Structure 1
Amino acid sequence: MTSKANLNGHSDKPNMRYVTLVSIAAALGGLLFGFDTAVVSGAIGFLEDKFQLNDFQVGWAVSSLIIGCIVGAAASGWLSDGLGRKKVLIGAAILFIIASIGSAVPETFTGYIVARMIGGLGIGVISTLSPLYNAEIAPARYRGRLVAFNQFAIVSGIFLTYFVNSWLAGFGDDAWDVSTAWRWMFGIGAVPGLFYMAMLFIVPESPRWLIKQGRAEEALPVLIRIHGEEAAKQEVREIKESFKEKKTPLRELFKPGLRFALFVGVVIAVLQQVTGINAILYYAPEILKETGAGTNAALIQTILVGFINCAFTILSIWLIDKVGRKALLLVGTSIMAVSLILIGFVFHTGHSSGYLVLGLILVYVAAFAISLGPVVWVLLSEIFPSRVRGRATAIASMALWAADYVVSQSFPPLLKSAGPAGTYWIFGALALFTVLFTWKFVPETKGKSLEEMEEMWASRESGKAGKAMREASNP
């Protein structure tokens, strides 16, 4: 049987060595993402003592980064559509480096907050554009795993950060931790920032962006290196066809077909956050201390959380192009819901032993790592048509970061008002809603080209219109 790839003129054997190397280089931005969002988990207790923070300020110390992320994500689509994916990612890396150093040196809480917001700008851009870039350069049949490299880089950054935090906290006594350790925790982030910026200079610009700008002659060599000459020429023709309408105002996103894609993208992005993952990752040491673990034991147990996150993300990368996005979401979010409900029950009964809570947290993190963690970023990078992808992805990413802000800012006061049991039951209920939403609304995108995704949304909308017309003509 002749494959669909051959019928479309695409190579059955793209140059995966080249594509993989480029995708890994671009996905290293996820390492910065993971580092910057998790570094505060080890530093928050020391910051609280250093600056004498109240409950609201503790939440603000964590969530201030996310304000910058919201702005960075919102601007990323417009900036990258105008300047290119590569240039904007380099600018984001520079912001990250500045913020890492700036977060390490302040003598006031305000100075720390300003530096974290600057870092958030860079992370917001990276979180949006890194998976988007990989989706635009990847062959359709391998796109899931190549985009999921970004999530593996995120969880690797989180894991390494937990390890580094524990290592630095062990250098001195409590007084040294409060005065110095947290500064090194933030400052060391400049090293991966510099490495990522250097790697970006060796990756090509997105061929789809180049074609959109009328620079197909620059895109063709990149596509030839990926697919071979004949398939590359065919892909250029297909991409040009998808850019027939050159003007893409914001209202374009609310046209039939696209508006439902935007709805699905925004809702699934929000659900990734409101099911509680970053409340656990940001505050893991503090949660584990509540179960009776000491500071050092809590930090060590948090390393185990990071390891599980990495291991199951690798499993997800292996599965995502085999079983599909939707199946992983349904299985993973179901397990998350059960785990969260059980964590709440353990706290409710008052038998919150450290090992029992730790075990349930590990199950929850493992389930997230094979489902909502990588799959959401893959979906956001592939469900939008080429002509609006930058802006649509930016809107969905902005919604994701806004939800992250609400969760991280509200988690400490929520724990005190609703208690641990009530808090985790709320997250569990939202995880159950995620299962239902996925089953009803999220499409399977495995193996579809980015151009085929556009046709899918359009046919869905035209099918609805046709059904409405038939119902109207046959009352």
Structure 2
Amino acid sequence: MADSTPLLSELNLADSEPPVLHRHLPSLDSTIERCIGDFGWAQFLQATLVSFSWFFDAQQTFITVFTDAEPTWHCTQLTDRHSSCNSASNICQLPLNLWAWDRPKYTSTISEWALECSSSLVTGLPASAFFMGCLIGGLALATLADTSLGRKNMLFLSCLMMSLSTFLTAFSNNIWIYSAFRLITGFGRATIGTSALVLSTELVGRRWRGQVGIIGFFCFTLGFLSLPAIAYSQRAHSWRSLYIWTSIPTILYSITVHFLVRESPRWLFVRGRKEDAIATLKCIAPIDSATTKTPFTSSFISSLSFEQETWNVDLYSAISVLVERRWAFRRLSAVMAIGFGTGMVYYGMPLALGSLNFNLYLSVTFNALSELPASLIAFFFIDQMNRKTSLLVFTSLSGICSIMSVLKGMNPIWTRLQIGFELVSFFSACSAFNVLLIFMIELFPTCVRNSALSMVRQAVVLGGVFSPMLAAAGRANGGFLSYGVFGVVVGVCGLFAFCLPETRGRGICDTMDEQEYKDTAACNAVGRV
């Protein structure tokens, strides 16, 4: 790959002072900050519209908690000492004429397709297929938002694919076709979170980056909260109605994104589309911004000599760069390890709620509500929170409480506290997830940021792939193989935060060389102190 800025690559970072270019010529980051650093309603509306994609993402992530729930049943004959049917019976060992479902068969895929006696691999297949689709889609589409498509187009196509496949899922007639559609839904959904997070944070200045990133987390929480409400209102109807009611609004949202959302000015400039970048800056910058009233911004950006290391790259060159640079590979490996542990808890706990002796609708609602304080903490305190310390605290707390939720012992108080420990563990995992995503924005430069974030999300999803199987296995032993394993994994994976640099309060970079230069300069400054 050609290096268009030999001045940067030939710097002796240890012995030389930064060249005149760095002392006197504003960078792309500082120029964009001058345009969009102040708060503007255009920025806020754009970021909010983009972030709302998380609402629909959450619905499809957890929808199988209700559509694939194992229904309750009852004996059709009066139970007495001569009857073989009672509440403790195994329905797989009972004649069909002795029991019946409490609700119509069509309310769940388990009852409609008579899967009550199937193995956990079969009943958990749709959920696992969804996460497998997320994994495959993330790997296949990881760098499209950084290279050919851009953030906006990737978000639009992902939402459209997810919504159409969700609609078609309602017409499945067996578990295999159903699982195939869930796989396609996961494939389409794979890049929604990364594209939305990166695009929304690149539309605003440094001062508002953390708060804007949290908007997506709020939208995800609202989407999660909407599920038990929709499911409860449709509890007497077919499980298919849940897919239809969640797909149609997503289709309308996709159309809205296509016509109303602007592309990231950072990505446009790095791709060499200076005119489009200038037009976007003028559109989203605050109307009272002094820089938008003068020709300085346009003339400066048009004449700025900037490293074009991503202008002529193939699809996976961004990942190749991340692997080839030692510092980038070390960071990527560490955050992917943290993401794996966090993802196993984040996606696994709602799926394993069936193993708790608690109302399913209420337990899902409480889990969704626990995301609100996690998002609020991140929203109001992200600027004061050290990224490394926060990750260590939240992952450790999540691990401890997850294990505590299955240690009932002989004291009945543990049974009453079980749901409490589960909620604290899930809250901590949500908080760790929020901090991790903001951390990712600051760890990698613009040219590979979306790709790096995609790889981390694939690690999160990989943890989710194992979650349905662990959740199904945990139902047979009181949750030890689910919540116990979740706690150990997230606690151990959180320790990888020690391998990462602290980024709170630091500006973001746009190229790999710029990031490497800044990190090296920071290390030298610390060494001199």
Q: How does 1:185-264 map to 2 (within 5 A)?
A: 185-200=242-257, 201-224=259-282, 225-226=284-285, 228=289, 229=291, 236=301, 241-244=306-309, 246-248=311-313, 249=317, 250-253=319-322, 254-264=324-334
Q: CA deviation at 1:56?
A: 0.7
Write the deviation string for residues 273-307 of structure 1: whole angstroms up to 9, x where unpaired. Answer: 13x221112232x133xx2x4xxx32123212212
Note if 1:267 corresponds to 2:337. yes
Q: CA deviation at 1:212?
A: 2.3
The 3-state SS of whatever aligns with 2:191 is: helix
CA 1:376–1:351 in structure 2 vs 1: closer, same or farther (change >3 Å)? same
From 384, 387, 393, the counterpart of 1:331: 393
Contact 1:343-1:424 at 8 Å conserved across structures: yes
In 1, the alpha carbon distance for the partners of 2:195 and 2:391 equals 22
Structure-1 residue corresponding to 2:462: 402
Task: Give structure 1 stretches of 5+ with no counterpart.
Answer: 173-179, 468-475
Larger radius of gyration: 2
In 2, the alpha carbon distance for the partners of 1:144 and 1:310 equals 16
In 2, the alpha carbon distance for the partners of 1:239 and 1:164 equals 52
From 342, 359, 369, the counterpart of 1:307: 369
Q: How does 1:73-472 map to 2 (within 5 A)?
A: 73-80=138-145, 81-169=147-235, 172=236, 180-200=237-257, 201-224=259-282, 225-226=284-285, 228=289, 229=291, 236=301, 241-244=306-309, 246-248=311-313, 249=317, 250-253=319-322, 254-274=324-344, 276-284=345-353, 286-288=354-356, 291=357, 293=358, 297-346=359-408, 348-349=409-410, 351=412, 355-369=416-430, 371-413=431-473, 415-416=475-476, 420-438=479-497, 440-451=498-509, 455=514, 457-458=516-517, 460=519
The 3-state SS of whatever aligns with 2:173 is: coil
Q: CA deviation at 1:451?
A: 0.8
CA 1:317–1:114 in structure 2 vs 1: closer, same or farther (change >3 Å)? same
CA 1:134–1:258 in structure 2 vs 1: closer, same or farther (change >3 Å)? same
The 3-state SS of whatever aligns with 1:82 is: coil
Contact 1:30-1:127 at 8 Å conserved across structures: yes
The 3-state SS of whatever aligns with 1:78 is: coil
The one-letter code matched in structure 1 to 2:238 is: A
Write the deviation string for residues 426-464 of structure 1: whole angstroms up to 9, x where unpaired. Answer: 2222232244222x1233323322218955555556999
The one-letter code matched in structure 1 to 2:125 is: W
Contact 1:23-1:146 at 8 Å conserved across structures: yes
CA 1:198–1:328 in structure 2 vs 1: closer, same or farther (change >3 Å)? farther
Contact 1:62-1:409 at 8 Å conserved across structures: no
Q: CA deviation at 1:244?
A: 4.6
Count of aligned pairs: 442
In 1, the alpha carbon distance for the partners of 2:171 and 2:523 equals 58
Identity among equivalent positions (%) equals 19
Write the deviation string for residues 362-415 of structure 1: whole angstroms up to 9, x where unpaired. Answer: 22222223x223122223334222222233233222222222112233431355
CA 1:191–1:314 in structure 2 vs 1: closer, same or farther (change >3 Å)? farther
Q: CA deviation at 1:134?
A: 1.8
Note if 1:35 corresponds to 2:92. no
In 1, the alpha carbon distance for the partners of 2:42 and 2:277 equals 15
CA 1:458–1:54 in structure 2 vs 1: closer, same or farther (change >3 Å)? farther
Q: CA deviation at 1:265?
A: 3.0
Q: How does 1:60-79 map to 2 (within 5 A)?
A: 60-79=125-144
CA 1:157–1:365 in structure 2 vs 1: closer, same or farther (change >3 Å)? same
In 1, the alpha carbon distance for the partners of 2:121 and 2:304 equals 49
Contact 1:339-1:364 at 8 Å conserved across structures: yes
The one-letter code matched in structure 1 to 2:487 is: G
In 2, the alpha carbon distance for the partners of 1:70 and 1:271 equals 15
Q: CA deviation at 1:31?
A: 0.9
In 2, the alpha carbon distance for the partners of 1:192 and 1:237 equals 40
The 3-state SS of whatever aligns with 1:272 is: helix
CA 1:244–1:420 in structure 2 vs 1: closer, same or farther (change >3 Å)? closer
The 3-state SS of whatever aligns with 2:227 is: helix
In 2, the alpha carbon distance for the partners of 1:199 and 1:239 equals 34
Q: CA deviation at 1:344?
A: 2.2
In 1, the alpha carbon distance for the partners of 2:334 and 2:44 equals 28
The one-letter code matched in structure 2 to 1:441 is: C
In 2, the alpha carbon distance for the partners of 1:190 and 1:134 equals 23
Write the deviation string for residues 206-246 of structure 1: whole angstroms up to 9, x where unpaired. Answer: 11221122111111132243364379569958996354564
Larger mean Cα displacement after TM superposition, 77-86 or 318-327: 318-327
Q: CA deviation at 1:92?
A: 1.3
CA 1:15–1:243 in structure 2 vs 1: closer, same or farther (change >3 Å)? farther
From 118, 121, 136, the counterpart of 1:56: 121
Q: CA deviation at 1:337?
A: 2.3
CA 1:452–1:181 in structure 2 vs 1: closer, same or farther (change >3 Å)? same
Q: CA deviation at 1:419?
A: 5.2
CA 1:239–1:205 in structure 2 vs 1: closer, same or farther (change >3 Å)? farther
Higher relative contact order (CA 8 A, sep 6+): 1
From the two aligned structures, give the one with the greater helix fraction.
Answer: 1
Q: CA deviation at 1:345?
A: 1.1
Write the deviation string for residues 249-293 of structure 1: whole angstroms up to 9, x where unpaired. Answer: 24321213222232233222212213x221112232x133xx2x4
**Cα RMSD for the two superposed structures:** 3.2
